[in-house]
Chains A and B, each alone.
Chain A
């Protein structure tokens, strides 16, 4: 479906991000986010078990993996929305362990959600203004005196209007966010995240449910973030898009990081192919003993 989608400008790829051979947990020249021994279990299920991973600064890193690989859980752990059983992780050299989500966001690590969280009964403009940091009027007592926050609010509004123009949502600014389409909500969520001038933007499946025409502009926006000096980490299933814009790819499967590298090389990696297609996808099942095949068939029937 997405084979003909390419960003308008040819993306400028960042290279030379890592030190040594690309392998899971490889050192980066200039990491912005480092996670060490992060483990999260739900009862008997180990959702995330990442030994070591570094996210390179001012680059676009894609986090890929089959469904259930623990990508979103890993996102939640990094941003303080979930607490790991063990592990340390730091952002720009400051430890993030036991720091609540809102404070992580204030440090400049902003995330979006897989299922968009637009604030439906607030106008698009109010959604945007909510994204701005350090607002005087957000204190209950200072909020009572408009003269204290009016000027700042106007500046925020101008900034929001600028961003909305870039995301082509300015015509909708007074509408309820609930009246936007799914794709427009994705755009709004991304624009809102940019209101706080983040250093690291984490996008959870930014393309899910977005039509091809809009995908193109979303891709351009993501590339734009990098051009403005931000770091992007995103989860995505669309390999074509990953190959096009990502400078670095981290592959997760069953909660672990199984491969890392430059997007073209990583697609050739045996571990990645195994993770996506199953370890025995190229083995002729007919040549193994027939009992095995019967068992698998029964399993499939059961599942259906």
Chain B
């Protein structure tokens, strides 16, 4: 058993751009679900818009990176408005239904062969990073220490991703300690009471939906930078993984989603490495390699259940709040 490789791979996930992307998407969901009480089950849809909103103009129109970024953000705002206008006046569950359906509509639209010339259909798109890479200040080559030896390109996306995560966390922290954040948290507790105090609840919910969605969109861009964009990344399970991360870290916290994402990916990598090698070594004779690959997701499901039952406030959540949850 090669323990070094198992731990090495797990350590890589500690700082990988994917971890950063999931952390940012979870932070967006923390704004929706943790602070405002909006049940957004379509975070994968926001991420998809980020990925394709960046890739399509970059490849098909040859736009510079900042124009591609703006396209993504604009698409995300429009998506949030389309979701929010009909549902934010209704009870919270309606938003949940609409978001999960809308995210699926987007994914299937980008999968269909009809738009293959633009979207690349199921094969997706690649090589849209060129303009952004011109900004890469790092010298060519592979460097790093311990398990963290990457190419200059990988380092660039990694650093960029984590800078964005830190900025987003800072922005969220500033907002949540402001009177704006107070209104948002009030809406989570009881929107009628907040309405009776003269606040335009509908507008606040919309602002929250847009802001959290924008975080998801940027997360989508970070996610697809080190790879190619394929529609099958953005299945509903993506949203559920992000929810798992959010609940693991603590729903109404700012560092929770980031810590949650790190713990989630390190554990996931560790488990899959361990199980794959355990099967190889013949420790689990009843299991094939393919089955072992699926087992880690079963473990994720079990982990989510355990968190919700035994640690509903998450790693960083306030235990005191729990005493008053109905």
Interface positions of A (Cβ within 8 A of B): 79, 81, 100-103, 105-106, 110-113, 117-122, 126-127, 129-131, 133, 135-140, 143-144, 146, 149, 153, 176, 178-179, 189, 192-193, 195-196
Distance, CA A117 to CA B194, complexed state (A): 9
Main secondary structure of the interface of B (DSSP, over half): helix
Question: B201 to chain A: which residues have CB within 8 Å?
Answer: 102
The reply to whether A105 and B196 form a contact with Cβ atoms under 8 Å apart is: yes
Against A, the Cβ 8 Å flags (1 = close, 0 = not) of B84-114 are 0000000000000000000000000000000
Against A, the Cβ 8 Å flags (1 = close, 0 = not) of B167-196 are 000010011011111110110111011111
Whether A138 touches B180, Cβ cut-off 8 Å, given contacts A122-B185, A144-B174, A176-B321, is yes
What are 28 of the A-B contact pairs (CB < 8 Å)?
Answer: A79-B196, A81-B192, A81-B196, A102-B195, A102-B198, A105-B195, A105-B196, A105-B198, A111-B196, A119-B189, A119-B194, A122-B185, A122-B186, A122-B189, A126-B185, A126-B186, A127-B186, A129-B182, A133-B198, A137-B179, A143-B174, A143-B178, A143-B180, A144-B174, A144-B175, A176-B321, A192-B197, A196-B197
Q: Which residue of B lies closest to A133 (CB)?
A: B198
The reply to whether B324 and A119 form a contact with Cβ atoms under 8 Å apart is: no
Q: B89: shortest Cβ distance to chain A, in Å?
A: 10
Question: B186 to chain A: which residues have CB within 8 Å?
Answer: 119, 122, 126-127, 130
The reply to whether B324 and A130 form a contact with Cβ atoms under 8 Å apart is: no
Whether A130 touches B196, Cβ cut-off 8 Å, given contacts A120-B189, A121-B324, A137-B180, is no
Q: A153: shortest Cβ distance to chain B, in Å?
A: 7
Of B178, B180, B200, most buried by chain A (CB within 10 Å of CB) is B178
B199 in the interface, Cβ–Cβ < 8 Å? yes
Contact of B324 among A113, A139, A153, A176 (CB under 8 A): A176
Whether A117 touches B190, Cβ cut-off 8 Å, given contacts A138-B199, A192-B197, is yes
Distance, CA A121 to CA B318, complexed state (A): 11
The reply to whether A135 and B179 form a contact with Cβ atoms under 8 Å apart is: yes
Whether A113 touches B196, Cβ cut-off 8 Å, given contacts A121-B185, A176-B321, is yes
B232 in the interface, Cβ–Cβ < 8 Å? no
The reply to whether B195 and A143 form a contact with Cβ atoms under 8 Å apart is: no
Whether A140 touches B198, Cβ cut-off 8 Å, given contacts A117-B193, A120-B324, is no
- Which 6 residue pairs of A and B lie closest in terms of their CB atoms, listed nearest first? A143-B178, A137-B179, A178-B324, A143-B180, A117-B193, A105-B198
Whether A129 touches B179, Cβ cut-off 8 Å, given contacts A101-B196, A105-B196, is yes
Distance, CA A178 to CA B193, complexed state (A): 14
Q: Which residue of A lies closest to B191 (CB)?
A: A117
Question: A79 to chain B: which residues have CB within 8 Å?
Answer: 196
The reply to whether A102 and B200 form a contact with Cβ atoms under 8 Å apart is: yes
Q: A163: shortest Cβ distance to chain B, in Å?
A: 14
Whether A101 touches B193, Cβ cut-off 8 Å, given contacts A119-B186, A176-B320, is no
Distance, CA A130 to CA B180, complexed state (A): 10
The reply to whether A130 and B320 form a contact with Cβ atoms under 8 Å apart is: no
B126 in the interface, Cβ–Cβ < 8 Å? no
B129 in the interface, Cβ–Cβ < 8 Å? no
Q: A107: shortest Cβ distance to chain B, in Å?
A: 9
The reply to whether A179 and B181 form a contact with Cβ atoms under 8 Å apart is: no
Distance, CA A139 to CA B178, complexed state (A): 9
Interface positions of B (Cβ within 8 A of A): 171, 174-175, 177-183, 185-186, 188-190, 192-201, 207, 211, 320-321, 323-324
Question: A135 to chain B: which residues have CB within 8 Å?
Answer: 179
Q: Which residue of A lies closest to B200 (CB)?
A: A102
Whether A110 touches B196, Cβ cut-off 8 Å, given contacts A102-B201, A120-B189, A122-B185, is yes
Q: B156: shortest Cβ distance to chain A, in Å?
A: 29
The reply to whether B193 and A113 form a contact with Cβ atoms under 8 Å apart is: yes
Question: B190 to chain A: which residues have CB within 8 Å?
Answer: 117-119
Question: B211 to chain A: which residues have CB within 8 Å?
Answer: 140
Distance, CA A122 to CA B192, complexed state (A): 15
The reply to whether A146 and B197 form a contact with Cβ atoms under 8 Å apart is: no
Distance, CA A176 to CA B323, complexed state (A): 10
The reply to whether A140 and B207 form a contact with Cβ atoms under 8 Å apart is: yes
Q: Which residue of A lies closest to B198 (CB)?
A: A105
Distance, CA A117 to CA B188, complexed state (A): 12
Question: A153 to chain B: which residues have CB within 8 Å?
Answer: 179
Question: A120 to chain B: which residues have CB within 8 Å?
Answer: 189, 324
Question: A102 to chain B: which residues have CB within 8 Å?
Answer: 195, 198-201
The reply to whether B195 and A101 form a contact with Cβ atoms under 8 Å apart is: yes
Question: A119 to chain B: which residues have CB within 8 Å?
Answer: 185-186, 189-190, 193-194
Question: B189 to chain A: which residues have CB within 8 Å?
Answer: 119-122
The reply to whether A179 and B324 form a contact with Cβ atoms under 8 Å apart is: yes
The reply to whether B180 and A196 form a contact with Cβ atoms under 8 Å apart is: no
Whether A105 touches B324, Cβ cut-off 8 Å, given contacts A140-B207, A144-B175, is no
Question: B174 to chain A: which residues have CB within 8 Å?
Answer: 143-144, 146
The reply to whether B182 and A122 form a contact with Cβ atoms under 8 Å apart is: yes
Distance, CA A120 to CA B192, complexed state (A): 13
Whether A126 touches B193, Cβ cut-off 8 Å, given contacts A120-B324, A143-B175, A144-B171, is no
The reply to whether A131 and B180 form a contact with Cβ atoms under 8 Å apart is: no
Q: A40: shortest Cβ distance to chain B, in Å?
A: 18
Q: B36: shortest Cβ distance to chain A, in Å?
A: 12
